[in-house]
Structure 1
């Protein structure tokens, strides 16, 4: 797996968008080893899906300064005997004449050997590790991001992704959204409002700023979540409580 040198969360998110598009094969038709002059270009606009969710999840604006920082990023390829850092992009193109006011367009030309390395080493599960997300969240989010209408708020995004259904026992195709320990902030929307989950009816009056009431309905083979983000609605399980077993519930939507 490629190692991204930067620790900037916004930059890592944008690079993960590129990695997903390469993994999905979006640039395959442009890649031809026998035609070296064919550029591999990634277009970003200030009103595109990358910009929208960068703003929602990381409170960052996609502008020239951020794109220029993105252009300078490096990666460490998977080699074991030496330490290397390779650049990702060859050229940044921006500006140009517009007939009418329009969002800025940036064109990033990335290197063919970077593309080839990603195609042979990256899996969609690697994006969870790159972003610090719970296991399998990337495989739910990125197909939605590039396939569905853009959402205007984190709450509407969480609802569209079905976070509320996951909590009530309807999981998306066996996804186990898990972390080894409670996070200080939601790994998805970065809210500090990550609550402990209480199952059943507690004998005391719980502080709803600290606890989320799950209710008393549980499902065989599907343990209740351990933590819950009050802001986006993401339910998170403690990895050790899943014991590496797949959920037995088969529906992914409410009946």
Structure 2
């Protein structure tokens, strides 16, 4: 009887050990993709190529003009939440769907003379074909451009005109002129304060967002969700 009892208990004990083995406890957390040391010549990206973390851990992340897209998240219906995040230090932005990063893209913010103000905003209006009423080009009476970086308050020559800069796929964040739009993008600040985006990125964001979509602008980068460090993105 004693031997039979031991045989009956043994499978239960083994099942308990198996459960602990697969609980995930005791396994080291995946590293922060932005904290890995990319300066060493032998650097190898520690993340799976299919993950967002791999994109962030690329050696050229801070310089690249490449855009990361997760089409599954972009096409998700319905979306419970949507948000745009702008990092001034990295000059990159992220579009989040339900807390996961659906897109990561380059951008250009304001120069020192016209700094982009950090803060939490929402999209208050949208216009696909918009032109600035603050900045643009000045032309003389003969139609020759005499100032490629003019302001609307500059004196207009007799017979001349001021043309506001085109801002396609405009998404306004403040009544003072802060917004997101198509514009020339470099890997450093070059704008009058707005967030300039590549055309393909601005078009996608314009279609994805709506009035009321939150936008956060801050200096420090966004952390990578743990689920996007592993090959299988949870949907």
Structure with the bigger percentage of helix: 1
**Considering only CA atoms, is the larger Rg found in Structure 1 or Structure 2?**
2
**TM-score, normalised with respect to structure 2:** 0.23
Structure with the bigger percentage of strand: 2
**TM-score, normalised with respect to structure 1:** 0.22
